[in-house]
Amino acid sequence: MGKTATSLQLAKDFDGEIVSADSRQIYRGLDIGADKIGLAERAVVPHHLLDVVAPDEVLTLAGFQRVAYAAIDDIHHRGRLPLLVGGTGLYVRAVLDGLGIPEVPPDEALRAEFEAYAAEHGADALHARLAAVDPVAAQRIDRRNVRRVVRALEVCLVTGRPISALQQATPPPYRILRVGLTRPRAALYARIDERVEAMVQRGLLEEVRGLIDAGYSPQLPALTGLGYRQMIHYVQGELSFDEAVAAIKHQTRRFVHQQNTWFRLDDERIVWFDLEQAGYEQIANAVRAWVET
């Protein structure tokens, strides 16, 4: 039993509804590569924040936070239990920690300038520019994450204030239980490989081709995520099919490792369960004890 199966069973057992906190599942048409829950499961357990925007539309982090709070409040008002489920660490923190998110519209010209600088001088050089104007943000943002570095620089230049100063957190008025699921690395990597192979069998390549045929640019942020980027490289003749599949597996492993910076085993707010040792009942008992307090 993994994250999805566990969350579905918890929702059934505790009269809950699931709020997705996944930065790819917000897009319509990104089903297989985003590992989106199927319609049959959604008919049994209501899901929120799936298929919110088209692949060429933008839902900012601030926008996601707003609609997530709206969904959670609606679920609460109907007397049901909201379960925020997902693996996008920034999305989860935005909701659970109440991150302050600057309402600064994208400045495409400025972004293009920073991206060109990174392409010419490297991601480290761009990160150094951020460190010069906002060392706190630079400490928090992985230098390899050019998109987040660009955004931090953009906000700083547009507002005249460091993004770190604008991101002060105001925790939401919820009583929160944070449950983390983990596995030993070898078991986790084996499951990643199995999941990637299953996505390929379900038609990941055909989904990617369909999106491109529908007119969506391969450069769209929606199509630069895991699975989509590598299959696009195959479609464009830059990788063989086997190389693309291997790259998806490798990059997914790297992504999981990076997620450790968002969900740390030493974070005392999180109740961790090793799924190689703990069964569903142990997780359910923890949730039951929290619900009944």
Please report, for residues 56, 127, 136, the alpha-carbon distance to residue 69 in angstroms, rounded to integers and kept in the order given.
Answer: 24, 32, 27
AA identity, residue 266? D
- Whether pTM exceeds 0.85: no
pLDDT the model gives residue 258:
79
pLDDT in tens, 103-113: 788 888 999 99
Say how many CA atoms lie within 13 Å of 73 toward its Cβ.
9
Neighbour-count burial of 158, counting CB atoms closer than 10 A to its CB (0-12 exposed, 13-18 middle, 19+ buried): middle
Confidence band (pLDDT; 50, 70, 90) for 164? confident
The CATH architecture one would assign to domain 183-262 is Orthogonal Bundle (1.10)
Q: Give the three-class secondary structure for 288.
A: helix
Q: What is the mean pLDDT of residues 119-132?
A: 95
What share of the chain has pLDDT > 90, as a percent? 77
Q: Report the share of the chain in percent with pLDDT over 70.
A: 100
> Distance between CA 182 and CA 275 in Å, rounded?
6
3-state secondary structure of 292: helix
Q: What local confidence, expressed as pLDDT, does residue 222 receive?
A: 94
Per-residue confidence band for 265, with pLDDT thresholds at 50, 70 and 90: confident
**Considering all CA atoms of the chain, what is the largest pairwise distance in Å, rounded to the nearest integer?**
58
98-131 in b/e form (b: 16+ CB < 10 A) is bbbbbebeeeeeeeeebeebbeeeebeebbebbb
Q: What is the CATH number of domain 108-166?
A: 1.10.20.140
pLDDT in the model for residue 262: 81
CB half-sphere exposure, 114, CA atoms < 13 A = 26
Residue 87 has pLDDT above 80, yes or no: no
Rg of the Cα atoms in the chain: 20
Statement: residue 209 has pLDDT above 90: yes
Segment among 63-67, 100-104, 211-215 with least mean pLDDT: 100-104
Is 184 within 8 Å of 120 (Cβ atoms)?
Answer: no
Contact 19, 72 (CB under 8 A): yes
User: Which tokens hold the place of 261?
Assistant: 């910076």
Higher-confidence residue: 264 or 50? 50
Q: For tokens 């050089």, name the residue.
A: 125
- Name the strands in the sheet holding 47-48, side by side, starting at the edge strand that comes first in the sequence: 47-48, 16-20, 81-85
Query: Hunting for tokens 């085993």 — which residue is that?
Result: 265
Tell me the C-alpha to C-alpha distance, in Å, between residue 184 and each of 41, 257, 258, 268, 286. Answer: 28, 12, 15, 20, 21
What residue spans define the domains of the chain? 1-101+175-182+268-293, 108-166, 183-262
Residue 255 pLDDT grade (very low, low, confident, very high; cuts 50, 70, 90):
confident
Query: Please, which residues bridge with residue 85 across strands?
Result: 20
Task: Decide: 19 and 85 in contact? Cβ < 8 Å.
Answer: yes
Looking at the predicted structure, is the pLDDT value of residue 158 above 80?
A: yes
The domain made up of 1-101+175-182+268-293 is a member of CATH 3.90.1150.10: no
- Per-residue pLDDT tens digits for 2-61: 889 999 999 999 999 999 999 999 999 999 999 999 999 999 999 999 999 999 998 988
Give the span between the Cα atoms of 26 and 49, in whole angstroms: 6
